[in-house]
Amino acid sequence: MGITERKKRDFEHREQVILGASLNLFDCDEWLSVTVDQIADAAEIGKGTIYKHFSSKEEIYAKLTLDFYYGLLEQLERIDQNRSSISILGDIFKVALHYHLSQPEFRRVTQYCKRIDFKKNHSEEICNAFEKLDSRFRNLVGDILSTGMEKNEIPRTNVRQLYYCMKTCFDGSVDTVWTGYSGLEKVDIDEYIKIITQFMVAGVLGLGDLENNQIAKVYLN
C-alpha cells in the first residue's frame, strides 16, 4: 500500500525532526537541562508525540549518538583497502577525527552516552545497536591488522591485544580533539591529528618488535 508507505515515511520523518530539534537545543553546555517540553516546542509537536517515538528522554540521546556513529562507520568502511595496512590505519584515524570535528554539536551527547553505565539502563534494542557498532569497528580494524601481519607490514603479535591498543589510542584521540575543540585546552588540532596518527603507527610497528630490539632493553632495565 503506497499510502501506508507514505504514512510510515511521515512518521519516520517526524522522528528525524525531533532528533534535529534536540540536537540544536543540545548544542550548549547546559544541554542536560533542556526539557522535553522545549524539544516538543522546537519540533512543533505535542509533548506526548515525542513519547510515541522515544520511550524516554535518554533514548533521544541514545538515538542521536547511534546515528552519529552510523555515519562514522559508513565513512570508515568506505576507505580504500587496497594499500598498505599502515596507510589504511592512518586514514582511519584521519577520517574519524575529521568526522568528529565536522560535527562538534554531537560532542556532549556522544560523550554522555559513552559512559559505562549509560547503555546498561536501556532497552535490549538500544544495547544491541551499540553492540553491533562495536563489532563493526572491531572487525574493520581487526581485519586490517591481520592482513597487515600476513603481508609482513606489521610485526606479528597477538591481534586481539594490538586491537585494544589501537582502540585505546583511538578513543583517547577522539576525546582529545573534542576537548581541544571546546577550548578547555588549546591544541592545534590539525597538527595533533598528524602527530597522534604517527604515534599510533609507531606504536603498532614498535609493539611487535619490542622483544627483539633495544627499546625493550632500555625499558626493562
Residues of this chain that bind DNA (CB under 7 A): 1, 3-4, 6-8, 10-11, 14, 33-37, 40, 45-49, 51-52, 55-58
Q: Does 151 bind its own copies (CB under 8 A)?
A: no
What does the DSSP 8-state code read for residue 55?
S
If 0-12 CB within 10 Å is exposed, 13-18 middle and 19+ buried, where does residue 178 land?
buried
Residue 18: burial class (beta carbons within 10 Å; 0-12, 13-18, 19+): buried
With CB under 5 to 8 Å by kind, the binding choice for 46 among its own copies, DNA, none is DNA
Residue with cell 534494542: 125
* Nearer to its own copies among residue 30 and residue 44 (C-beta): 30
The interface mask with its own copies, positions 48-87, x = CB under 8 A, is: -----------------------------------xx-xx
Residue type for 23, please?
Answer: L
Question: Is the separation of the CB atoms in 154 and 86 below 8 Å?
Answer: yes
196 binds its own copies (CB under 8 A): yes
CA dihedral sign of residues 110, 176, 33, 35: negative
On whether the CB atoms of residues 79 and 137 are closer than 8 A, the answer is no
Per CB under 8 A, residues contacting its own copies are 29-32, 83-84, 86-87, 90, 107-108, 111-112, 115-117, 119-121, 134, 153, 158, 161-162, 164-165, 167-173, 175-176, 178-179, 182, 184-185, 187, 191-192, 195-196, 198-207, 209-210, 215, 218-219, 221
